Amino acid sequence: MKKVLFVVTSNDKLGNTGEKTGFWSEEFAAPYYELLDQGIEITIASPLGGQPPIDPKSADPASATEDTKRFDADKTLQEKLKNTHKLSTINQKDYDAVFYPGGHGPLWDLVEDKNSIALIESFYTHNKPVAFVCHAPAVLKNVKVKGEYLVKGKKVTGFTNTEEEAVGLTKVVPFLLEDALTQNGGKFSKGENWQPYAVEDGLLITGQNPASSKLVAGKLLEQLNK
C-alpha cells in the first residue's frame, strides 16, 4: 500500500486583520478522497500537531462540493484531524509522496518552517513526488536543492496575483505567491481565474486554485502508480 503524507498549516490568523484563516477544506478533502478511494494510506501532519485550523470561509455552504460534504460527515477523518502528527516527528522514509493543501494559513507558518523546508527537500532528493495546490506552492519559497531554489527553471503554478486581487488580500498576505516563485526562477504559468489548472515538472506538481485540487491529486496518483 502506498503512503502519502498530507501537511497542513497550524496558523489561524489572517495577518493583522483580526480574521481567521487556516487550510481550505476543498483543497484538503478533494485530494484526500481521491487518494483514499484508490487505496492510498494517508497520514496528516502540521507544525504544532493536534487540530489544525480550517479557514471558516471554506466551510461556507456556498463553497460546498460533494467532497466537502463528505468531509463534514466523516467522523473518522475528523478524529484523525484532531490528532495530526507534529511535523518535527515525521521522516520522509515512511512515505511515498507528500501533498500540501492551501488556504492562506501556510503563508505565515509553513513558508518559514524549517521542518517543512527540510522535508520537501528530502522527498525531492529521494525521488519522491511533492505536490501543492493553491496557496501551498508558496511553501516552496525557501526550499533549495544543492544550493539552488527547487523551483528554478521548473514549470509551476499557484494562486495568481489576479486571484489574490479578486479576494482583496494583496495588501494582507506577506508576499504574492506568483511573484515569489517567479523571482526564484520558476516558470510560472496560469489558467483563467478560478478554473482548474495544474502543471507537472518531473516530481513537482502544482495546482492554481481550489478548483485544481482534483487535477493535482490525479497527477500525484499517476506518479504513485508508475
Distance of alpha carbon 142 from alpha carbon 181, whole angstroms: 10
DSSP bridge pairs for 130: 98, 204
pLDDT tens, 156-186?
999 999 999 999 999 999 999 999 999 999 9
* Contact call for residues 169 and 94 (beta carbons, < 8 A): no
Domain regions of the chain by residue span: 3-225
Q: Does the domain spanning 3-225 belong to CATH 3.40.640.10?
A: no
Q: Determine the average pLDDT of the residues in 87-106.
A: 98
6, 16, 59, 161, 184 from 219: Cα distances, Å? 15, 36, 26, 24, 24
Residue matched to cell numbers 506538481: 205
Who's near 150: CB < 8 A, 6+ residues apart? 120, 121, 124, 140, 143, 144, 204
Q: What is the mean pLDDT of residues 210-223?
A: 97
Q: What percent of the chain has pLDDT over 90?
A: 97
Q: What is the pLDDT of residue 47?
A: 98
pLDDT of 62 higher than 90: no
- By C-alpha distance, which of 135, 129, 154 is closest to 207? 135
Q: What is the mean pLDDT of residues 91-115?
A: 98
pLDDT of residue 63: 83
Mean pLDDT of 137-164: 98
Contact between residue 14 and residue 106 where contact means Cβ atoms under 8 Å apart: no
Distance CA 102, CA 95 (A): 20
Instruction: Report whether 23 contacts 60 (CB < 8 A).
Output: no
Q: What is the pTM of this model?
A: 0.98
Say if residue 221's pLDDT is above 90. yes
